[in-house]
């Protein structure tokens, strides 16, 4: 008799003896995007239809229609594809592609190049759905603004700072002290730490030329208050651009939100140009955090 012979991997009732250990989700070190897809869906604030947010190669977010569409039915300027979590503005040679929601949004004027029959019918379906949401009170549209939809509502008003990171000026989405880390914590929530950290070198408020926009009309020569990080080490500036607190500056923690920087454009963002440095109280508050 061999009571312990032929130990099977299963109990007598067929249930597995060894349960596979649950693995946490991880971001591949080579992934160009660390943004978790979970939580990156939303609703268009004009029509209420579902949208998926994706970062582009320059980190600016774009809202795509959640479903794929046959590439053959889609005009070339509307074709996008996702590679490594990043949205690219062309198809990838496959039979299916993604489309920016703006090209389909029933609350925006139709674009001339979206005249394909298939896109017209998708747009009509979205219009019907939008109507239903409005009729049932499930959605209230917001007025059109020129702010890209990705930027959270202009909560900071004119207190959105212009920050110079790696020689590029960005407009922050909220006051400097309120800009929060986008990384996911071990508790699977978004980190609550601010970017400004007391034990880390901080930027300096300076008056710098507002400069012309890339290839655009120039404004009269003005200087504006810029929170300049140019003197910080490269890694610190990268941390700011990735919108991560010192704890999450390195490591494999994924992002739960998109960084809120917009490349500063003196014409588009004229309302955020300040010709004077912030009052001393604000300056010392920043200094306290150094």
Residues at the interface with Zn ion (CB under 5 A): 44, 46-47, 105, 181, 183, 191, 193, 245, 248
Q: Where are the alpha helices (DSSP H) in 82-185?
A: 117-135
Closest separation in Å from C-beta 47 to Zn ion: 3
Listed in order, strand segments (DSSP E) in the chain are: 41-43, 50-55, 61-64, 69-70, 81-83, 86-88, 96-97, 162-165, 168-171, 204-209, 223-228, 262-263
CB nearer Zn ion, residue 173 or residue 248: 248
CB nearer Zn ion, residue 56 or residue 107: 107
Closest separation in Å from C-beta 202 to Zn ion: 17
CB nearer Zn ion, residue 45 or residue 164: 45
The values of phi and psi at residue 132, to 5°, are -65, -40
Both structure tokens of 2: 């061999």
**What are the beta bridge partners of residue 223?**
209
Closest separation in Å from C-beta 192 to Zn ion: 8
* CA–CA dist 139, 166 (Å, integer): 41
CB nearer Zn ion, residue 21 or residue 189: 189
The string of DSSP codes covering 251-284 is SSPPBSS----EE--TTTTGGG--SSPPPHHHHH
Closest separation in Å from C-beta 185 to Zn ion: 7
* CA–CA dist 120, 156 (Å, integer): 38
The values of phi and psi at residue 82, to 5°, are -105, 130
CB nearer Zn ion, residue 205 or residue 240: 240
CB nearer Zn ion, residue 47 or residue 64: 47
Closest separation in Å from C-beta 188 to Zn ion: 13
Closest separation in Å from C-beta 247 to Zn ion: 5
Q: Measure Cα distances from 198 to 174, 202, 224, 245, 289 in Å.
A: 19, 8, 26, 11, 4
CB nearer Zn ion, residue 65 or residue 269: 65
Both structure tokens of 108: 């925006």
């Amino acid at each position: 008799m061999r009571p312990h012979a032929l130990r099977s991997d299963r109990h007598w009732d067929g249930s597995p003896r060894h349960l596979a250990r649950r693995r946490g989700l991880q971001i591949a070190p080579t992934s160009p995007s660390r943004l978790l897809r979970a939580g990156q869906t939303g609703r268009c604030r004009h029509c209420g239809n579902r949208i998926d947010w994706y970062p582009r190669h320059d980190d600016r977010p774009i809202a795509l229609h959640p479903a794929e569409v046959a590439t053959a039915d889609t005009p070339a300027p509307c074709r996008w594809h996702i590679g490594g979590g990043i949205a690219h503005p062309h198809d990838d040679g496959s039979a299916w592609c993604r489309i920016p929601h703006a090209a389909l949004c029933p609350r925006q004027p139709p674009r001339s190049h979206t005249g394909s029959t298939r896109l017209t019918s998708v747009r009509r379906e979205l219009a019907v759905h939008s109507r239903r949401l409005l009729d049932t009170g499930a959605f209230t549209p917001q007025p059109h603004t020129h702010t890209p939809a990705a930027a959270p509502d202009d909560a900071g008003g004119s207190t959105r700072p212009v920050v110079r990171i790696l020689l590029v000026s960005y407009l922050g989405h909220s006051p400097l002290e309120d800009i929060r880390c986008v990384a996911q914590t071990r508790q699977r929530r978004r980190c609550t730490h601010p970017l400004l950290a007391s034990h880390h070198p901080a930027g300096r408020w300076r008056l710098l030329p507002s400069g012309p926009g890339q290839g655009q009309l120039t404004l009269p020569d003005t200087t504006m208050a810029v929170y300049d990080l140019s003197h910080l080490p490269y890694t610190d500036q990268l941390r700011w651009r990735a919108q991560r607190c010192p704890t999450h500056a390195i490591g494999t923690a994924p992002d739960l939100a998109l960084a809120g920087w917009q490349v500063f454009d003196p014409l588009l963002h004229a309302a955020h140009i300040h010709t004077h440095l912030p009052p001393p109280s604000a300056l010392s508050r920043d200094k306290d955090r150094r």
